[in-house]
Structure 1
């Protein structure tokens, strides 16, 4: 679910004048902003572009593949138990 929210945040960043406090934009803004604020302290905007939603999308995709992908750790463990 957060992957889709971060994709929405990436698209929203292309349009800086979007009213993020209004529906439907607040649906993607409100749950992701608390995660992005501390990340922006570690990774400042590059050339005026906020890359933190891209970083989180990549991290979530990577962890998802490592844990529950076709050769993921949880899949392999469940095969060994069963």
Structure 2
């Protein structure tokens, strides 16, 4: 928005100062939300359609639905949130870790 007003030229900004923090917060938040989903599976009486649980279910459910079609429950346990924690953790490490792609390329 600031660039649209002509105040700041985005070419002058270092991409690392924009991409890395936003991506780090997003991936960290998604990992945290999926960990909450894992804990909530231990309490089947929790209704995910009521507040505050809906705040956890809304961003995670669209990712869980397609994966549930591919990965059936093991012994009656839904492991799809665990898979997503692994995926987001791997992405965070590959992109933002000490030797991550964005770190090594200077972004």
Normalising by structure 1, we get a TM-score of 0.92
In the alignment, structure 1 residue 55 sits paired with structure 2 residue 89 = no
Distance 1:36 1:2 in 2: 12
Tell me the number of residue pairs that the alignment of Structure 1 and Structure 2 aligns: 79
- 2:65 pairs with 1:8: no
CA RMSD of aligned residues (A): 1.1
Point out where structure 2 has 5 or more consecutive residues left out of the alignment: 1-28
Greater relative CO, 1 or 2 (CA 8 Å, sep 6+): 2
What SS is found at the alignment partner of 2:92? Answer: helix
| Higher alpha-carbon Rg | 2
Question: 1:31 offset after TM fit, Å?
Answer: 1.2
What's the CA shift for 1:77? 0.5
TM-score scaled by structure 2? 0.71
Matches within 5 A, 1:1-82: 1-78=29-106
Q: Which runs of 5+ in 1 are unaligned?
A: none
